């Protein structure tokens, strides 16, 4: 087991870093969604789906 860990420590490290990055990205998206922020980051003036993605904000 220790030989396998020694041979693959770089892969394990990279996978762990990617998993941590995915966790923080998902957490940020969830927090933004709960706060009512848009995920696209641009204005809705020219967006064809503006009424769909912000329909909850209009009901308040």
> How many CB atoms sit inside 10 A of residue 54's CB?
14
C-alpha 25/C-alpha 28 separation (Å) is: 5
**CA–CA distance, 38 with 18 (Å, rounded to integer):** 25
Give the dihedral of Cα atoms 12, 15, 20, 21; nearest 10 deg. 150
Residue 36 host element (H or E): none
Query: Each residue's pLDDT tens digit in the chain (60 positions)?
Result: 999 999 999 999 999 999 999 999 999 989 988 887 766 666 666 777 767 765 555 554
**Residue 55 structural domain:** 2-59
Rounded to 5, what percent of the chain is helix, strand, coil? 70, 0, 30
Task: Please state the domain count of the chain.
Answer: 1
């Amino acid at each position: 087991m220790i030989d396998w860990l020694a041979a693959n420590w770089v892969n394990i490290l990279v996978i762990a870093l990617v998993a941590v990055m995915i966790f923080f990205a998902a957490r940020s998206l969830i927090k933004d969604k709960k706060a009512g922020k848009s995920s696209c980051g641009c204005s809705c003036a020219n967006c064809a789906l503006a009424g769909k993605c912000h329909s909850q904000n209009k009901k308040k």
